[in-house]
Amino acid sequence: MGALEAQTSGGPRARALASASMIRCLLAVLALAGVAHADGGDWERIADRDGVVIERRGVEGSSVREVRVTTRASLPPAAIMATLWKHEEYVEFVPYLKRLDVLRDDGDVRLIYEQIHVPLVKDRDVTLRIRRTFSAETGVYEVASVAVPDEGPPESSAYVRVRISVGRWRLAPAADGGTAVVYTVRTDAGGLLPAWIVNTAQKDVSVQLVRAMLERARHDNR
């Protein structure tokens, strides 16, 4: 058990220490992969700032909430999709990502393995199946991911295996030639980290990730 994970099982002071930025870096990496639609309650708007709307809802049978981020981008959907599908470049701009291997590439479906460094707690690893789709009728691109913990390398005592991570990017053409971006995510970081820490961090990190991905897409299209 990592030091922080041990602390989170203590009193209020220990839990406060655990809510620092160290868990956010883990969620940042996991969330980038792109949530199958879960049966939960209605979406609750919790923030609307700088053109970004943040919503959340509960998921039946889980203490970890689903988060949805909606915004607009000036680039067309195809340009953003190209950046999203460059998994081999994620290590260049995703904080704390130690390693990313594309284990299998079947064109529109990939199996990837990631190792994530998390300060003060044990590092995490995750295997994800990622699928991209495109509708010629609507011009909408989607990238959906789900953790498949038993399809990648064997578990190692050096890492906590992330077993629940689901995400979805939806890129729809906007009337001005840009893109309506919707990003939805739910990730359980594993270990003994309380759900309230994960929920708090996931909300903030989701916005940061959308902005980082769009900035990378702008960089790719200069």
* Residues 149-168 pLDDT 10s: 999 999 999 999 998 888 99
Number of structural domains the chain divides into: 1
- Domain that residue 210 falls in: 3-220
pLDDT in tens, 34-60: 444 444 568 989 889 889 999 988 777
* CATH number of the domain enclosing 59: 3.30.530.20
Instruction: Provide the 10 A C-beta neighbour count for residue 87.
Output: 18
Digit-coded pLDDT (tens) for 129-145: 999 999 999 999 999 99
Distance CA(102)–CA(112), nearest Å, equals 4
DSSP annotation of 25 reads H
**What pTM was estimated for this model as a whole?**
0.78
CA dihedral 149, 127, 62, 97 (to 10 degrees): 140
* 188, two tokens: 């359980």
The confidence score (pLDDT) of residue 207 equals: 81
Evaluate if residue 21 carries a pLDDT over 80: no
Closest CA to 113 of 168, 142, 155: 155
